[in-house]
Structure 1
């Protein structure tokens, strides 16, 4: 009987050790699973935070893009108004130049008449003075129109430069944002 008990004791010891190891293995599996769940939860939380950050950045970029687009439209509106002003001044300048040439021709005719007709000298002198005064006024208006024209052209160039710069910023901002999104 003793010969039968010894193998049973060994089997019982093996079964006990198996049960202990099985219990330890289950415990280890539970610990690993809990750790994995904690790690996954932490990773998920970090990813959610990163996603929120990126969405915030994207919203900021969209707001910047909208603001820059509005500024560009405002500057384009100002440029359009300046273009209209320049065109109007060009028209006025042409008209003033035509009038100047017309009155210069009349003055030349009067000067010739004055040389040839001494009896009507007084009347021609008065007309001549009036024409000279009128020519001086027109010349002054032309000078003012030219100064205003130059000023408006300068402003137009400045606005064109600002618009190009804002469009470049918008382009660079969009590229940088797209690259950042692709990286993430």
Structure 2
């Protein structure tokens, strides 16, 4: 993540912030489940903040889903396998051939998606987000910068994102109080 609070478009900054909050929420939830750090409410409040941040990012543009390339490759591979089975069968309308085509397509699609997903870059190991003493302060500063940029935007939809960010900024201190 860049060190510049104002670096990049607001949508991309919000997506990065959402990813950080989601990681912290999952870390806090996993720790609660193994009772390493009992916390019944903090991760839920972080998840609510993530929802609001993601909603604000969505107001800046529909954008593509995060892993659209591998999803598209999987869908195309699944369709290709199904069509190959149907076009090469002697009796394409027979029940076993139809069942094979229907069953093989999704299985191949998921296999391709999983295979491509294995090659994504791994994050560098460091302290879990929930243990970072600067997590809340840095995230709050970044979200306030995004809210300021959203408030002065010409688009009414973008200005509405500032309200979503404001709600996220309410949830973050509530989550921190639970730690």
TM category, shorter: under 0.3
- Asked which structure has the greater CA Rg, the reply is 1
TM-score by length of 2: 0.26
Name the structure with the higher helix share. 1
